[in-house]
Structure 1
Amino acid sequence: MKFLLIEDHALYRRGLLFLLEQLPGEHQFLESDNCEDAISKASVHPDISLILLDLALPGMNGLDGLLRLRSLCPTTPIVLLSANDNSRLIVDGMRRGAQGFIPKSSSPEVMTAALQVVLAGGTYVPLQGVLRDSPSLNESRSLTGRQREVLALIARDYSNKEIAMQLGMRVNTVRVHVAAILDALNVANRVEAARMAAALGLSSDAR
């Protein structure tokens, strides 16, 4: 696997390298201490398996860099690293396409487990208590039980037709629920809604 580490503190970057080296398999590492250099590396390495992106970087900030990296590497999982685990920052990062958010205060064991979850195709965010004050979480509580079930199936990449079959509904009714969900969560599309569902712990609501 090929990893791109974007972190301006060399000591912390060395620690990340040590953790990644413990993962099974053979690995190749690319390192950058700013977003501009990372974007250049990503443009010539389309086979990157995972990107670890610090949000507090000199020059272009991590959230702006996330958008650029997501456009260059649309299928590569990107995990955000930050000393700030503010809920708004986490939700903003997930909306922009991150598959994970790991606070820098996490233990090596937690960080390793989080990386394994993301590499297996999952999404990792801190425990839901971190998101307690998130506006999006509060908005999600306003969803009806049926809408939460629809959202959970969206998170599993079900189509409207598949959701209708699963929940015994008409396809047009599913469309209405989907529109209401996107509006409640303040997201633009199903992909963002799915990421939000995973980030907020709603994907387990499907029956």
Structure 2
Amino acid sequence: MADDHTLVRQGLSPFIGTLGDQVTILEAETLDDAVSRVQADGPVDLVLLDLNMPGMNRMAGMARMREAAPDAPVVILTGSIDADDVHAAAEAGASGYIPKTLNATAMVNALRLVLSGERYFPSFAFNAPPRAAAAEDPAGGGGAAAGSDAGGDNPLAKLDDRETHIVSMMVDGATNKVIARELGLQEVTIKVHTRKIYRKLGAANRSQAIRIIMESGWSARAPHQP
């Protein structure tokens, strides 16, 4: 876990410690320190990088870490809630992007999702196209209608209320087990629902489903009741 704020590292460590039975956390304050720790004490199972700590140089720092730890998922941990940063991280190969505004439970769920081989990116970044794309098409008339529900081609329109509720938890990083507990259902029932969701979305797996959901203009519109 690399972050130049000691308070952040100390605050997150207890929650990260719940990700496994025996979790060893290597801490660093700069990217150079993080790369050195990984090379000296690795291999590691997960890397958390603060986007704005010394040495990062934005996504260039993530590329350095991916070279140092090629088999470990790299997750950006940041105070930035800029959609362009989320898109840049996804394009650069990050396995996740966690804003520091996220609550602890959602963060842990997101990290569990990443450790299971999936990717996590907050849905807010996909409710509108990046600024560069918007500048090219200010009227929003070209390309895929990623932020619109207009027309009958949006796959989200195929989901019923229960499935939409489950989707809202999926994009927040909840596993099937967590979703089942929250909804008071058996985990096998959630698996049936998720398979139906994949089929309706035309997705082969969870990560593909989440990507389709985000690209289709997801806006956290799940019903409040189960």
Deviates more, 1:51-60 or 1:112-121: 51-60
Counterparts in 2 of 1:1-207, with a 5 A limit? Answer: 5-127=1-123, 129-135=124-130, 141=144, 199=211, 201=213
Mapped contact 1:94–1:196 kept (Cα < 8 A): no
> Secondary structure in 2 aligned to 1:81?
strand
Structure 2 unaligned blocks of 5 or more: 135-139, 147-154, 156-206, 217-226
Amino acid at match of 2:94: A
Structure 1 unaligned blocks of 5 or more: 149-194
Instruction: Kindly state the Cα deviation for residue 130 of structure 1 after the two structures are TM-superposed.
Output: 2.6
CA offsets, 1:55-113, max 9 Å, x none? 01123334221000111222210110111121110011111111000110000111011
Mapped contact 2:38–2:69 kept (Cα < 8 A): yes
Equivalent residue pairs, number: 151
Q: Distance in 2 between matches of 1:133 and 1:101?
A: 17
Amino acid at match of 1:78: V
Mapped contact 2:95–2:114 kept (Cα < 8 A): yes
Mapped contact 1:87–1:130 kept (Cα < 8 A): yes
> Secondary structure in 2 aligned to 1:22?
helix
The equivalent of 2:190 in structure 1 is: none
Instruction: Kindly state the Cα deviation for residue 200 of structure 1 after the two structures are TM-superposed.
Output: 5.7
Instruction: Go from structure 1 to structure 2 and tell me whether the alpha carbon gap of 1:45 and 1:96 turns closer, same or farther (over 3 Å shift).
Output: farther
> Secondary structure in 2 aligned to 1:111?
helix
Instruction: Go from structure 1 to structure 2 and tell me whether the alpha carbon gap of 1:108 and 1:46 turns closer, same or farther (over 3 Å shift).
Output: same
CA offsets, 1:11-66, max 9 Å, x none? 11111211111223111111100001111112223410000000011233342210
Deviates more, 1:55-64 or 1:65-74: 55-64
Amino acid at match of 2:41: H
> Secondary structure in 2 aligned to 1:201?
helix
Mapped contact 2:90–2:96 kept (Cα < 8 A): yes
The equivalent of 1:191 in structure 2 is: none
Mapped contact 2:87–2:125 kept (Cα < 8 A): no
CA RMSD across the alignment:
3.1
Deviates more, 1:102-111 or 1:133-142: 133-142
Instruction: Go from structure 1 to structure 2 and tell me whether the alpha carbon gap of 1:197 and 1:141 turns closer, same or farther (over 3 Å shift).
Output: farther
The equivalent of 2:176 in structure 1 is: none
Mapped contact 2:3–2:53 kept (Cα < 8 A): yes
Mapped contact 1:53–1:78 kept (Cα < 8 A): yes
Q: Distance in 2 between matches of 1:62 and 1:31?
A: 19
Q: Distance in 1 between matches of 2:26 and 2:64?
A: 17
Instruction: Kindly state the Cα deviation for residue 126 of structure 1 after the two structures are TM-superposed.
Output: 0.8
> Secondary structure in 2 aligned to 1:30?
coil
Identity %: 30
> Secondary structure in 1 aligned to 2:48?
strand
List structure 1 runs of 4+ shifted beyond 4 angstroms.
136-140, 195-200
Mapped contact 1:94–1:199 kept (Cα < 8 A): no
> Secondary structure in 2 aligned to 1:14?
helix
TM-score (norm 1): 0.63
